[in-house]
Amino acid sequence: MPQPIELHVNGRTRTVTTEPDRPLLEVLREDLAVQGVKYGCGEGQCRACTVLLDGRPTPSCLTPVSRAAGKTIVSIEGLAEGEELHPVQQAFLEADAMQCGYCVPGMILTAKALLERTPDPSDEQIVAGMNGNLCRCCGYRNIVKAVRLAAEGKKRAEARHAELV
C-alpha cells in the first residue's frame, strides 16, 4: 500500500507517496526527475545506479525507497557547487575518464566516497575501492588516473589551506 516517504535528496527534502519496497532508483528517476542515476543491470552488479546514502556508495536499484527514508541521498546532480564542479568531477574531465559516460555518475560517487575514507590511495587501493563499478567501454586506466588526480588535488588544496591558517 502506498505511503508517504520523506527523502533528503541533494540538499532538498522531498516527500513521495509510493510503495515502500519500490526501488530507490525508480523513485529518483520517475518521481523526482533525478536523471543522473542510471539504470544498468537492475541487479546491483554494474553500479551505474550508485548514489551516496549517508555517504556510502549504494546501488539504488536494489535499495527499497523505505530504507532511504530520513537518510541523506546524494546523486551526481548534488556534487557540483553551482557552476563549479566537484574536484572528482573535474579530475574525470581532466583525465579523459569517460567515453560513453553511462557509468560515470556511479564511478564519480564511488570515487568521492573512496577519497573520503582513503585520502591518499595507492593505485591498488583505487582499483579495490572502485571494484564493482563496471565500464563497458573499458576506460579503467583513465578512471584510476582520474581518482589519483582528484586525490592529488585534494592534497594540494589542504596544503594551501594549511599555509593560510
Q: What is the pLDDT at residue 157? A: 65
The strands making up 50-53's β-sheet, listed across from edge to edge, are: 12-18, 3-9, 72-74, 50-53, 56-59
Mean predicted confidence (pLDDT) in 16-31 = 98
- pLDDT computed for residue 165 by the predictor: 66
Of residues 86 and 153, more confidence is placed in 86
Rounded mean pLDDT, 14-39: 98
Please name which of 141, 28, 153, 33 lies closest in space to residue 87, comparing C-alpha atoms. Answer: 153
Which pLDDT value is given to residue 154? 73
Query: Domains of the chain, with CATH numbers?
Result: 3-78 (3.10.20.30), 87-164 (1.10.150.120)
List, in sequence order, every residue forming a beta bridge with 58; answer none if it has no partner.
51
**Is the pLDDT confidence value at 91 over 90?**
yes
H, E, C per residue of 6-20: EEEECCEEEEEEECC
Q: What is the pLDDT of residue 63?
A: 98
Integer Cα distance of 45 and 62 in angstroms: 10
Compute the average pLDDT of residues 28-57.
Answer: 97
Q: What does the pLDDT read at residue 60?
A: 98
DSSP conformational letter for 21: T
What percentage of the chain carries pLDDT values higher than 90? 87
